[in-house]
Amino acid sequence: MLVRYRRNDVFLIPVANGEFSLGRVVLKVDGGNVLVAVYPELAESVEAVDLGRLSSSRPVFLVETMDLRLKDGTWRLAGNWTPPAELSIPVYKTQVEPGGDFFEQHVDGSIGRRLAADEAARLKKQKSFSPVLVEKAAQAFQGVEPWLPAFDEIRIEESA
């Protein structure tokens, strides 16, 4: 049976030895993808999750991924929590024509205004990462797995 999830649902990502990192559905994206935030807090079970603790926490990863692990129940839901301040939804860059100008691209795929060269240089192209990579990133953050360069792409910068 498929699990239904919604925006702001908090879920558990397996880390190791019966511990789980906490994640949150930030936004559902068309095509079976979700934008999720992963927090540094750990829990030992769904019942042990203290949603109130997340209010003083800052996520370490913000990543677009497929919703398979949510739907199949691998990432078990632990409740629904609305943060006191929502994260900024990323804006990306895209080219409409190869070699042409860059334009804003929103997480839903819609195209915005033309970007100046300096703006385009600061933005990334939209990319989705596998749920397994999200799990490995959470494990690496907790020191269980080695850190891979791909994790830098989904890590929220300290100054953000």
Question: Do 2 and 51 fall within a single domain?
Answer: yes
Nearest one of 13, 48, 11 to 140, comparing CA atoms: 13
pLDDT band at 160 (very low <50, low <70, confident <90, very high): very low
Give pTM, 2 decimals.
Answer: 0.89
Question: Do 72 and 121 fall within a single domain?
Answer: no
For residue 16, how many other CB atoms are within 10 A of its CB? 13
**Structural domain span for residue 63:** 1-86+127-160
Question: Do 54 and 101 fall within a single domain?
Answer: no
Question: Do 50 and 98 fall within a single domain?
Answer: no
Question: Do 114 and 136 fall within a single domain?
Answer: no
Task: Tell me the pLDDT tens digit for each residue of 12-42.
Answer: 999 998 999 999 999 998 788 999 999 999 9
Question: Do 57 and 134 fall within a single domain?
Answer: yes
Question: Do 110 and 138 fall within a single domain?
Answer: no
Question: Do 121 and 131 fall within a single domain?
Answer: no
For the cut 60, the answer to whether the pLDDT of residue 159 exceeds it is no
Q: What is the mean pLDDT of residues 109-124?
A: 92
Task: Tell me the pLDDT tens digit for each residue of 59-105.
Answer: 999 999 999 999 999 999 999 999 887 778 888 999 989 989 999 99
If one counts the domains in the chain, the total is 2
Question: Do 6 and 70 fall within a single domain?
Answer: yes
DSSP at 59: -
Cβ proximity of 8 and 25 under 8 Å:
yes
Q: Given this model, what pLDDT does residue 88 score?
A: 83
Mean pLDDT, the chain, integer: 92
